[in-house]
Amino acid sequence: MSEEERKQHVVLVHGACHGAWCWYKVKPQLEASGHRVTAVDLAASGIDMTRSITDISTCEQYSEPLMQLMTSLPDDEKVVLVGHSLGGLSLAMAMDMFPTKISVSVFVTAMMPDTKHSPSFVWDKDLELAKMLVRANPLIKKDMAERRSFSEEGYGSVTRIFIVCGKDLVSPEDYQRSMISNFPPKEVMEIKDADHMPMFSKPQQLCALLLEIANKYA
């Protein structure tokens, strides 16, 4: 396969209370390597002023911009999905609905649900994360608690990679590894000195891992 053929479309999904802007250090590095990069603003996030966070009551509504992007992709195009923190839940929704359009999904210290429990299971084990979600949007937390599990045929069929951030104080390493043990991904990578925001604190290391994943799995 030629170098040109290996260029991928990388889709970056932010966490709660952030926006596409949070990838500003990573996006140009990926583009400099020849990849096409789309950083998504989820509903009522970043520069999306079409509605306020109080208008969002379900994860479908919150994730709608990502779903619209996935719907717009040609049937023969596969993307590399990258989600940070609570953005992992939006990734899971996209994987469940569009498994054939995703070559690999990367969870960067992100919520990684399984295919057995309600999606809220991943944060019910961590009080601080639950508090964060309540502050961000209590209605979404309620919606997630009432949802059925993601499917093996959709979400479970997509290759998953988890990037552990060793100095994360929001999602501590033990909690990250509990999600990994609960629903093991294809590969676990690590940025030992990264905090909860590796796109700010360790952008070069994060970008290097994303490039490695794109070359290996996409």
How far lies 122's CA from each of 112, 115, 125, in Å? 7, 11, 6
Could you say which of 41, 96, 143, 168 is catalytic? 168
**Quick one: how far is CA 147 from the chain centroid?**
19
Where do the domains of the chain lie, and which CATH numbers do they carry?
A: 9-217 (3.40.50.1820)
pLDDT tens digits for the chain (218 residues)?
Answer: 445 447 899 999 998 777 889 999 999 999 999 999 999 988 756 555 566 555 666 777 778 899 999 999 999 999 999 999 989 999 999 999 999 999 999 999 999 999 999 887 876 676 566 555 555 554 566 666 667 899 999 999 999 999 999 999 988 999 999 999 999 999 999 999 999 999 999 999 999 999 999 999 98
Can 14 be counted among the known catalytic residues? no
Could you say which of 85, 103, 105, 120 is catalytic? 85
Can 117 be counted among the known catalytic residues? no
Q: CA-to-CA distance for 70 and 68, rounded, in angstroms?
A: 5
Q: Give the pTM.
A: 0.89
Can 85 be counted among the known catalytic residues? yes
